[in-house]
Amino acid sequence: MSRGVREQLRGVVPDSLLDLVPKSFDVIGSKQKAVAIIEVPEEIRGHEEAIAQAVMRVQKNVASVLSKESGRAGEFRTREMRLITGDPDTEVLHRESGCAFRLDPRTVYFSPRESQERGRIASATADGEDVLVMFSGVGPLPIRIAKQRPHVHATAIELNPYAHNYCVENVHLNRVGDRVDAILGDVREVARSLDRQYDRILMPLPKGAYMFLDVAVPLLRDGGVLHFYHWAPSEDFYGEAEELVKAAFRKEGREAVVTDRFRVSQFSPRDSKVRIDAVG
Ligand code: SAM
């Protein structure tokens, strides 16, 4: 696809700069309407309108092209984005593995690249389980799980009101409203009102989940499964994450057995997102 974009730009962007045109970019949405999110290097900023037009010509469903203006930041893990060209309404309906997620990438976290990881977690979940999804965003994890496992019940907790509202809508869109409860709030606060323990707890907040392990472990039933995500350095992918998980179980007088370690994605040469699965 990107070669197509570069081809489109031949004669428009000087040959010496063509290699700087982004190799890949995220597209979120459906065949009817999608947004593309691109990162334009400083040296070719003067050509961004032409680049965005080329993206729209090559990928006909793209109605808006957004430029990444910052890294992900803040509690909501969103980033600054600027509309380069196209429809200023950037709300889309993203389709993934038989599910549909309505969202606006300008107000919420969502990554289409994590579809495979969602599939792995849905497949690992046994039917009949009671699952807690902390940091649930617009609901892709609880919805993928509930769609794949018809007798699972999932509780989803999210702090960003935009993401929570989309989650509520997405739960209904995907017809899993009888099995997924979406709660708006801070995991730490909401946890106090939860009156049961869970078979499986997901903690998909790589930059900070460790600060909520003291909340998660007491909510996990004996022998339950914890999926803990962590931002890890390349020198040692799993050491710190494993130690954090084991220490949190020890604090509760329990012992964690690590059953899987997985490098989910690489953010930069130095940093990766990893998952530790533990039973305890
Ligand atoms: N699970 C979602 C997904 O895969 O698309 C979202 C993951 S995103 C990395 C982390 C989410 O956690 C964000 O939507 C953010 O708003 C939410 N969050 C951050 N701190 C939180 C807290 N203390 N309580 C509840 N949600 C929180």
Residues 6+ apart with CB under 8 A from 203: 134, 135, 209, 212, 213, 216, 226, 227, 228, 229
Q: What mean pLDDT do residues 50-74 have?
A: 96
> Which among 155, 158, 214 is the best mutation to test ligand 1's pocket, defined by most ligand atoms within 8 Å of the CB?
158
**pLDDT at 3 > cutoff 90:** no
pLDDT of residue 21: 95
Beta carbon of 186 within 6 Å of any ligand 1 atom: yes
Calpha distance 210→216 (Å, rounded): 10
Calpha distance 199→181 (Å, rounded): 16
pLDDT of residue 234: 86
Residues 6+ apart with CB under 8 A from 40: 22, 48, 51, 67, 84
Beta carbon of 158 within 6 Å of any ligand 1 atom: yes
The rounded mean pLDDT for the chain is 96
Amino acid identity at 76 = F
pLDDT tens by residue, 123-134: 999 999 999 999
Beta carbon of 140 within 6 Å of any ligand 1 atom: yes
Beta carbon of 136 within 6 Å of any ligand 1 atom: yes
Calpha distance 157→41 (Å, rounded): 36
pTM listed for this prediction: 0.96
| Banded pLDDT at 23 (limits 50, 70, 90) | confident
Query: What is the CB-side half-sphere exposure of residue 131 using CA atoms within 13 A?
Result: 30
Amino acid identity at 194 = L
**pLDDT at 24 > cutoff 90:** no
